[in-house]
Structure formats: structure tokens, C-alpha cells
Amino acid sequence: ESIMSRIRSFDYSQKNAVLVPVAALGVGGMLLYWLRSGRKIETIDVGDGWWGAGERPPKGKEDTSIRPFKIETSDKEIEDLHQRLDRFRFTPPVEGAAFHYGFNSSYLRKVVAYWRNQFDWRKQVEVLNKYPHFHTTIEGIDIHFIHVKPSYVPHGQAVRPLLMVHGWPGSFYEFYKIIPLLTEPAKHGLNEGDVVFEVICPSIPGYGFSEAPHQKEFDSIATARIFHKLMNRLGFKEYYLQGGDWGSRITTNMAQMLPQSVKGLHLNVVFITIDSLGKVIGTMLGAYVPWLVGYSREDARRLYPFIQKNIYDVLRETGYLHIQATKPDTAGCGLNDSPVGLAAYIMEKFSTWTDKSFLHKDDGGLESKYSLDELLTNVMIYWVTSSIVSSMRYYKENFSKDTRIHNRVGVYVPTGIAAFPQEIVHIPRVWAKDVYKNIITYTYMPRGGHFAAFEEPKLLAQDIMQFVRKVERL
């Protein structure tokens, strides 16, 4: 009452003197709120972490040494493997199953026979050791990585640092064929040598020779931070990033976290969810009027029939994701104890994710794109390091939280996307633009699937180089 009478008692000019600034403040405030909300956050917080066993040690400085590392094996390891292969208990497939029920056990028997009698792990270890390996401790755990420099650099040639990150069920080994194309392109007939890289391929903590985190909640953001620290420790201030599968998520987080350190981000897999009404409507209309929604003809070809390709196929292929994101310790237990079980589980992905039509083949089409030596070497990395369970936990740690933060923070660094035709889900450029604000190149690759570096190293290398060339001309 008294306030109201007080206000009424102001004369006109005094009222203006109060009301106008209040109104301005009000409108300004609303404007500011509207500008900020729905506006994406600028960057992901860097944060910090400790993943070692037990309590974080007090203020002592972490050992930052970079220690050379060589993969080793022993008679005992090989004999143990052979014994397990010998006592594998086989279940015959149903008649006509091909790869529709998962990995066909009749073909698996042939793989096991090769593994037991012809696969030479000692020789493969030498192959793995042909590139220099290192370990360094970051946030309490040992990070493994290979670091390959060009053997010969002509005077004045700039060598660009490139961090390449693998995914699941892959490893640093996926990059072994592409590395020489990037460190010595001229030798492989790729270009005149104007774009040359030194390549760093780490193992995600919990994968291969990187120590597994001992604490909960180790997600892609923690990984991104650790890889930034790794690159800094190696003396790099600005670098290129490349990734697929989890590597795509991690490198994207790296670009969202410290954009000033990322000269360019190249991806062969893009994770975008259909989380807005606009996308839903766009998807439905896109089948009939793709040009209206911004789809190219190739987009339409790869996206439709929509339900079949994006819902049915995805449901069929994501059982592993569902169980790993919820019960990783259960799912991985038997696989760490049975090398054949591990091989079936991992190699099934190398079949279906390379080409969906491989489901209809009795041998899963595996040897049409890869050699058994290559496939088994990747499996052996999981086997000898006993890392299958920790590799699966990564799914739980990443899917448990609100994942929308990834899509709400824009990626402003120059981005290049290589869209491979047999990738599990095709993401058109118009969708990618939602998150990746600065797409410099978007290429429809002529062939290849999920494991791009492993399967089509030359195509991928060429796309990376033409992307980097465009970035540097800017």
C-alpha cells in the first residue's frame, strides 16, 4: 500500500526518470538472456583428473618423462594362447545362417586353424615395433603412443604434427598402413611433398598398451584433456587432429576444449543425434524433396529408405553398444578368458561395419578387404593387454551422462569430413553443420566403411591432405 502510494505520488518527470532506465534494463536484460540462452557455450571446460589407483598423491610433481617402449612377447604367452585355441568349444551354426546370427562358427574354425598354425605373433610384434613406441604418465596413468617422424625432410619443408585417434574395437595398429602415406607422401606417389606430417597415435586409456583408468567416470572429455597434455609434453602448441569412431568424439572434444591448439580437425565419422524437430521434419521431407532440406542426391541415396537404414539397421548393429554401455564387466569377462570368443566379437564388427552386404556371406567377407594377419594382430593387442573389459567400460562412462553437451558446444576450428559410403549411419553436411560451424571440406568417398584408415588408407590420406592444403591456404 505504502509503496503504491509512494509511486503514485511521483510526478510525471520523476516517473520517467525511474521507468525509462528500468525499462531499458528490463529490455536489455531480456535481450541479453535471449542472446545467451540457446546460444551455444563457447568451449568445454578443461578441468582436471586423477585416474591412478588409490588416492591422488599430494602436491608431488608427476613424472613427466617420455620413456621409449617396445612390445614384447614370450614363449609362455604364445603357449597359453595356443592351449586356449586348442580347447575351443565349437557350436555349429544353424543351416543357412551366414553372418545373420553373428560371427559364423564354421568360418571361425578356419580362422582359429590359421591363428593356431600359421599366424606368427613374434613376427607381428616386430611389425608393431617398426614404429617408435613410448609411454608417459599423465593424470596418474601410463599413456602409450607411437610417434613417427618422416625419415627425410627436405630443407624448408614444414612438418605438421598430426594426432590420430582410434576407436573400438580398433587400436593404434589401424593406422600402420596410412602412416607412411602421411609421413612420406612423395615416396608413395601421393603428391609433390608439399604436405608432410609427423604422426602421433596414442592408445585411449583402457585400450591396448595404455593403462586403464582405476577410477570411475573416465570419458571422452577426460581423454581429450589428456591428449592435449600429451601433445604439449611433446612440444607441440598447434596440431592437426584426425579420428573415427571414439577417435572422432575425442578429437571433437579436443577442438571444443582448446580450439586455439587445433589447426584443423579431420573426421571420417560424425556423431550427430536427431534432437530437434527441424531435423525430424527435414528427414521426413527429405525423402521426397531432398533439395528443399539441403540434402544432395548422394545424401538421399545414402540416407533412404530411412527407417531401414537408420533405425532398423542401427538397432540390428547396436546390441554390443547397449550391453557395453550398461554391463561392461559382464560382457567382457568371458572375452578376456577365451581368445576365440574375443576374436569372434571383434572381427564381427570388421565384417559388418566394412560392408553391410557382408552379412549374407558365409565368411563375412572379411578376407576380401583385410588379411587374417592384420585382423588377428588387432585382436592380439586386446588379448595380450587384457584390455577388453576396460575398453568396454568406456561406453558406460560416455553414455551415462548427459551427452547433449557435446552437441551444444560448437566446433569452430576448420573441419574436414570424409563421408564413407559403408559407414553405419550417414550424416549429411547440413546436419554436421549444426555442430561443426567451419566445415572446409566434405567429401563423399567412393568406397570404404567404418575402419577407413585400415581399409582405404590411400583414400583417407588423400582426403586429409587436400583438407590440410585448403586450411593452410586460408
The nearest distance, CB 273 to another protein, in angstroms, is: 15
- Write the binding mask 216 to 245 for another protein: x where contact by CB under 8 A, - elsewhere: x-----------------------------
Whichever of 88 and 412 has its CB closer to another protein, that residue is: 88
Total residues interacting with another protein, rule: CB under 8 A: 61
Task: List phi, psi (to 5°) of 363.
Answer: -105, 15
Instruction: For residue 6, state whether it binds another protein (rule: CB under 8 A).
Output: no
Q: Which of 88, 271, 412, 444 binds another protein (CB under 8 A)?
A: 88
What type of residue is 206?
G
Alpha helices in 87-144 (DSSP H): 105-117, 121-128
Task: List phi, psi (to 5°) of 158.
Answer: -85, 135
470, 472, 473, 474 alpha-carbon torsion, rounded to 10° = 100
Whichever of 32 and 53 has its CB closer to another protein, that residue is: 53
Instruction: For residue 74, state whether it binds another protein (rule: CB under 8 A).
Output: no
Instruction: For residue 396, state whether it binds another protein (rule: CB under 8 A).
Output: yes
Instruction: For residue 318, state whether it binds another protein (rule: CB under 8 A).
Output: yes
Whichever of 93 and 167 has its CB closer to another protein, that residue is: 93
What type of residue is 165?
V
Instruction: For residue 104, state whether it binds another protein (rule: CB under 8 A).
Output: yes
Please confirm, yes or no, whether 395 is among the known catalytic residues. Answer: yes
How would DSSP label each residue in 444-457? Answer: E-SS--S-HHHH-H
Residues in contact with 338: Cβ distance below 8 Å, sequence separation at least 6, in sequence order? 84, 88
Helix (H, G, I), strand (E, B) or coil at 128: helix
Instruction: For residue 331, state whether it binds another protein (rule: CB under 8 A).
Output: yes
The nearest distance, CB 382 to another protein, in angstroms, is: 12
How would DSSP label each residue in 183-229? Answer: HSTGGGTS-SSSSEEEEEEEPPTTSTTSPPPSSS---HHHHHHHHHH
The nearest distance, CB 352 to another protein, in angstroms, is: 9
Instruction: For residue 97, state whether it binds another protein (rule: CB under 8 A).
Output: yes
- Write the binding mask 23 to 62 for another protein: x where contact by CB under 8 A, - elsewhere: ------------------------------x---------
Peptide bond into 305 cis (omega under 30): yes
Whichever of 277 and 474 has its CB closer to another protein, that residue is: 277
Residues in contact with 105: Cβ distance below 8 Å, sequence separation at least 6, in sequence order? 90, 91, 92, 93, 344
Identified catalytic residue from 131, 173, 394, 395: 395
Instruction: For residue 341, state whether it binds another protein (rule: CB under 8 A).
Output: yes
User: Which span (14-22, 79-87, 133-141, 161-169) binds another protein, by CB under 8 A?
Assistant: 79-87
Q: Which three cell numbers stand for residue 444?
A: 563423399
Element (H, E) at 36: helix 12-36
What type of residue is 430?
V
User: Which span (134-142, 161-169, 299-307, 312-320) binds another protein, by CB under 8 A?
Assistant: 312-320
User: Which span (9-17, 40-48, 83-91, 115-123) binds another protein, by CB under 8 A?
Assistant: 83-91
Nearest CA to 349 out of 323, 379, 386, 391 is that of 379
Nearest CA to 385 out of 134, 138, 71 is that of 71
Nearest CA to 165 out of 265, 16, 259 is that of 265
Whichever of 171 and 391 has its CB closer to another protein, that residue is: 391
Whichever of 198 and 348 has its CB closer to another protein, that residue is: 348
Please confirm, yes or no, whether 245 is among the known catalytic residues. Answer: yes
Q: Which of 44, 49, 93, 236 binds another protein (CB under 8 A)?
A: 93
Please confirm, yes or no, whether 444 is among the known catalytic residues. Answer: no
Whichever of 221 and 453 has its CB closer to another protein, that residue is: 221
Instruction: For residue 8, state whether it binds another protein (rule: CB under 8 A).
Output: no
Q: How far apart are CA 158 and CA 445, in angstroms?
A: 28
Helix (H, G, I), strand (E, B) or coil at 370: coil
Nearest CA to 387 out of 222, 212, 246 is that of 212
Site for another protein in 180-219 (CB under 8 A): 213-216
The nearest distance, CB 319 to another protein, in angstroms, is: 3
Binding region for another protein (CB under 8 A): 53, 80, 84, 87-89, 91-97, 101-105, 108, 213-216, 277-278, 281, 315-320, 322-338, 340-342, 344-345, 348, 386, 388-390, 393, 396
Q: Which residues are part of the catalytic machinery? A: 245, 395, 450
